[in-house]
Structure 1
Amino acid sequence: MRSGSGTLTTMPGGHSHTHSHDARSTSGAVAVSTLARVGLTLLLVVAAAATVYGLVRYWPGDTQTPNRVGTTDFAAPGVTFPIAEVQETLPVCATPTGGAGDASSGGQAGDGGSAPTCGAITVQLEQPTATSGDVRPVVSVPVPPAVSSSGLREGDTVQLLRTPPQSGQPETYSFLQVQRGAPLSLMLALFLVVVAVVARWRGVLALAGLGFGGLVVVKFMLPALLDGQSGLLVALIGSSAIMFVVLYLAHGLSVRTSTALAGTLFGVGITAGLGLLAVDMARLSGVANDEGATLASFVTTMNPRELLTCAIIVAGLGVLNDVTITQSSAVWELRAAAPSMGRRELFQSGMRIGRDHIASTIYTIVFAYAGAALPVLLLLFLYERPVLEMLQTESLSEEIVRTLASAIGLVLAVPVTTAVAALTVGTAKPSVHPSADVTPSQEVGSELSGPTAADLVRAASGPPPPATRAEARARMTSS
C-alpha cells in the first residue's frame, strides 16, 4: 500500500518495507515489456547499421578540395588583412553624406589626404608591413556610422583590409570588421561553467554530445555537401549519427532513451519528407540571399535546393530531441506512479502532458525565428505591400517552410514516442531498501486489498494529511 511518497510492499514472512520513488529509483523499478523491447531493439539496430553504412558509403574524400576558396580569393592580388588596435575614435558624422569613405570625412586613410574629423578611427597595426620596416604603422580608417555608434573604443581590436602600393600610389587601408574573439570566448566559458555547475555530469555529457554533433557537421555533412552528395541523404545520415550518440551519452543507455531515440528518428523522417515535398511544391531555388548566390557561384557541384532540404532537417533536431526525451520520461514516471494503469490510459495521460509541451514548443520555434528575423519583419512593416505578397518572397518562404516542416515533424513525434513508450514499459516493480522502516502487515493473500490506480496517482501528487496516515496505520495494526 502506498502512503505519501512511500510504497508499502507486502513481503513473504509478514513484513512490509516502505520506500520512496524518485526519478532515479523509478527508472530502475519499471519493468520492460519483453516483446516491445525486442522490437524496439531490432528497429534501432537496423537504423544504426544503416547509419554506419551511410557514413562509410558517403564519407567525403579529397574531391571537395578544389572547391575550397582562400581568404585572398575574395580580394585583389597582394591584398592582406592585418590586425590593428584602436588608438582613438572620432564621433559619428552629423550629415548623412559624411562618414566612411565620403569626401567630407577628410579622404581615404593612407592616401596622403587630410585626416578625417568624424566617422573614423585611428589604429596601430600589430605587425609591421613590407613598406614600413620595423615600425608598426598608425593609420586613420573611415568606419560605417553603425560601427562608430556601437561603442567602439580605445583598446579594441579590429581587422583591416590593406591594399599594397600600385602604379605609384601609396598603400591604403579600409575597415573590415571588429575582432570579437575575446567576448565570444568569455560567453562560451560562462556557458560551459553554468552548465557544468547546474547540470553536473549530465550537463558535461550533453556538452560532449554537442561537440560530437559539431564534428559530424564539420567533418561529414559540410564536406559531403560540397562533394555534391544528396542533401537529403547527408542530412538523414548525419542527423541519425548525431542523435544516436547525443541521446545515449546524455541520458544513458536504457530502454527509456531508446524509446526517445525511436521517436526522434521518426520525427526526422517526417521532417525530411515534408521538407522535400515543400521545396518542390513551392518552387524554392535555395538561393534567397547574397550568401546563397556566392556559394552557388563557387560550388558548382552542389545543388542549392539540396542544401535547403538539408538545412530544414538539421534545423529541427534540437527541439525534436527535447520533446521526445520528455515524453519518454513522462510515460515512465506515470507507470512508476500507477503500476495498474492500462496501456491505453497510460498513453492518454502521456498525451495530456505532450499537448502542453507541444504548445510551449511551438511558441519557442516561432518566436526564435521572429527574434532572428526582426529586421526583415520591420521591413515588412515599412513596405507598402500586402503582407501575403511579402511572405511569398524567396527568403521568407524558405524560413516558413523550414519552420513549418520542423514543427509538423515535432508534433507528430509526440504521439509516436508516447505510444512506443506505453507499449515498452511493463508493470512497476518496487524495489526493497534495506534501510526502510518495517511495519507489521498481513501475509500474502490476506483480506487487506492492494491500492488502486487512482490511489497511487493521488499518492504520487504528494503526502496525504496526517489523519490519513494515522488511519492507515490503525487499520493495519488492527488487522
Structure 2
Amino acid sequence: MKISRTRSSSRLRTILPTVLVLAVILGILAGLYGYAHSSQEEQGESPTAYAEYESGTVLQILADNCEADEVSEGAYRGEQTLLVEVTSGQYKGETLMVTNAVGPLYGEPAQVGESIVMIVNTYSNGDHTATVYEYNRIPMILVVVALFVLVTVLVGGETGAKSILGLALTVAMLLLVFLPLLMKGWAPIPTAFLLCSLIAIVCFVILGGCSKKIACACIGTIAGMALAMLFGLLAQKLLHLDGLRATDAEALLQLRQTGTPVHIRGLLVAGVIISALGAVMDVAMSIASALSELKTVNPQLTARDLWKSGMNIGRDMVGTMTNTLILAILGSSTVLILYMYSLSLSWHQLMSSSYMGIEVISSVSSAVGVILAVPLTALTSAVIYGRSQGAPSPAAGGTKATGKKQK
C-alpha cells in the first residue's frame, strides 16, 4: 500500500510541472492568437460586386475542344463548357454553366462526377457567373495527411502520436499566429524567434515531459536558432541582400502602399529561423538523449567525459544533417535552378544574382545553426548531468558498505 502511494506521489510530482509549463506557454500562444485576430472586421457596407471560391460537381460536359500538345509533353490545351452543381456557399444546390480554360500551366480537362473549385462572380444586379479555378484537391490532401499520420503512429507508437501533435501545433502557430502578427506590423525576426522558441519548448515537453534531458534539448535548440539568426543577419549584411530582393516581395510592397504595415526586410532571416527549427531540434534532442542514457548506464561519468562523448556523437550527425537541410532547400527550387542553367549564365552573372545570394544565406545560415547546436547542447548536457554524481554501482563494490551479505 505504501509502495503504491509512493509511486502515485512520484508520478504526480512528474506530471504537475509538465502540465504547468504547457498551460503557461499555451496560454501565451492563445493570447497571441487572440491579439493577432483582433479588430480584423472592417466596418462599412458590403461590396456590390465580389468573387467567391466554391466547390461544385461536374454533371455534364456540354462542349470540349481540348487536344494534347506534344510540345507540352502531352498536356492538354483548349476549353470546356461544363454543367456544374454548386456544393458550397450561398449558391449551393444551383446548377451553373461553367467555362474551364485548359492549359499546361493553369488547368486540366474535367470529367463528369469530378469535384472542382470555381470562381463565382456576383455582380451588383445580382447576376452571377462561374469559371473553373482548379481541381478540388482538399479531399485528397486530407487522405495524404491521414496516411502520413497513420504511418507515423504505427511505426512510432505513442511517441509518434506526440510528434504529430507537436507538428500540428507548429503548423497552426505559424499560420494562425505568425502570419497575422506580421500583417499587424510586428518585426519578423524577433517574432519568428519568439514563436519558434515557444513551439520548441512545447513540442519537447509534449514528447518527454519536464526533465533534465528536455531542459538540455530546449537550451540547445534555442541557442542554435539564435546563432543561425545572428549568422543570417551577418550574411545578409555582407551580401547586401534582405527580404526586399526575395521572390514575391513586390506584392508585399504593394500591400504596404495600401496601408498594411508589413515589414519586408526581416523576412529573409525570419525564414532562416523557421527553416532551421526542425533540424536544430533533431540534433539537440539526439545529443541530449544520448548523454542522458550514457549518464544512466555509467553514473560515474564526469562533465568532461560527457562533453567529449557529446562532441563525438554530434560530429557524426553534422554531415548528414547539414546535407539534409541544404538539399531540402535546393530541392524545393529545382525548377528555377534548371531554368537558370538553361540560360547558360556566366559565372559572375550567376554568383552575383540575388537568387544565388538569397539561397546561400538561407541554406548556410540554417546549417550553421544546426552545426553550432552540437557543442551548445553537449556543453549544456555535460554541465547539468555532470553536477550529479551517481552512487557507485554494485560492480564497483557499492554493496560492501554494510559489511554484510544482502539477502
TM-score norm. by structure 2 comes to 0.75
Residue 142 of structure 2 corresponds to which residue in structure 1?
185
Please say if 1:316 is aligned against 2:276: yes
Gap regions ≥5 residues in structure 1: 1-27, 29-40, 101-116, 433-438, 447-479
Distance 1:403 1:442 in 2: 52
Distance 1:340 1:322 in 2: 27
Distance 1:395 1:55 in 2: 37
SS in 2 for 1:302: coil
Q: CA deviation at 1:388?
A: 4.9
Residue 256 of structure 1 corresponds to which residue in structure 2?
213
Check the 8 A contact 2:68/2:77 in 1, yes or no: yes
Q: CA deviation at 1:274?
A: 1.8
**Inter-CA distance 63–173: structure 2 relative to 1 (3 Å threshold):** closer
**Deviation sequence 1:377-402 (CA, Å, 0-9, x none):** 10122012124532433344223212
Q: Select 1:444's aligned residue among 393, 400, 406.
A: 400
Distance 2:166 2:249 in 1: 29
Please say if 1:205 is aligned against 2:162: yes
SS in 2 for 1:137: strand
Residue 119 of structure 2 corresponds to which residue in structure 1?
161
SS in 2 for 1:83: strand
Q: CA deviation at 1:96?
A: 6.9
- In structure 2, give the amino acid aligned to 1:418: A
1:360-379 superposed matches below 5 A: 360-379=320-339
Check the 8 A contact 2:246/2:268 in 1, yes or no: no
SS in 2 for 1:379: helix
Residue 420 of structure 1 corresponds to which residue in structure 2?
380
Q: Select 2:267's aligned residue among 303, 307, 315.
A: 307
Please say if 1:83 is aligned against 2:55: yes
Residue 411 of structure 1 corresponds to which residue in structure 2?
371
**Deviation sequence 1:315-338 (CA, Å, 0-9, x none):** 111111000000011112223344
Higher relative contact order (CA 8 A, sep 6+): 1
Residue 309 of structure 2 corresponds to which residue in structure 1?
349
**Deviation sequence 1:425-458 (CA, Å, 0-9, x none):** 24455899xxxxxx9x997279xxxxxxxxxxxx
- In structure 1, give the amino acid aligned to 2:312: R
**Inter-CA distance 171–215: structure 2 relative to 1 (3 Å threshold):** closer
1:210-221 superposed matches below 5 A: 210-221=167-178
TM-score norm. by structure 1 comes to 0.65
Check the 8 A contact 1:82/1:125 in 2, yes or no: no
**Inter-CA distance 55–281: structure 2 relative to 1 (3 Å threshold):** farther
In terms of mean alpha carbon deviation, does 153-162 or 322-331 score higher?
153-162
In terms of mean alpha carbon deviation, does 200-209 or 275-284 score higher?
275-284
Residue 203 of structure 2 corresponds to which residue in structure 1?
246
**Inter-CA distance 159–363: structure 2 relative to 1 (3 Å threshold):** same
**Inter-CA distance 249–90: structure 2 relative to 1 (3 Å threshold):** farther
Distance 2:131 2:168 in 1: 36
Distance 1:90 1:363 in 2: 48
Check the 8 A contact 1:84/1:157 in 2, yes or no: yes
**Inter-CA distance 229–171: structure 2 relative to 1 (3 Å threshold):** closer
Tell me which protein shows more helix as a share of its residues.
Answer: 2
In terms of mean alpha carbon deviation, does 231-240 or 205-214 score higher?
205-214
Q: CA deviation at 1:211?
A: 2.7
Distance 2:341 2:330 in 1: 13
SS in 2 for 1:228: coil
- The percentage of aligned residue pairs carrying the same residue is 23
Q: CA deviation at 1:371?
A: 1.8
Distance 2:66 2:168 in 1: 42
Distance 1:158 1:143 in 2: 13
Check the 8 A contact 2:326/2:364 in 1, yes or no: no
Gap regions ≥5 residues in structure 2: 1-9, 11-16, 403-407
Distance 2:354 2:338 in 1: 17
Higher Rg: 1
Distance 2:324 2:183 in 1: 32
Aligned length: 369
Check the 8 A contact 1:119/1:145 in 2, yes or no: no
- In structure 2, give the amino acid aligned to 1:83: S
Check the 8 A contact 1:67/1:298 in 2, yes or no: no
Q: Select 2:67's aligned residue among 85, 92, 102.
A: 92
**Deviation sequence 1:270-318 (CA, Å, 0-9, x none):** 1221222333333324244663322331244122012223222111111
Q: Select 2:360's aligned residue among 376, 395, 400.
A: 400
Residue 229 of structure 1 corresponds to which residue in structure 2?
186
SS in 1 for 2:83: strand
Residue 79 of structure 2 corresponds to which residue in structure 1?
120
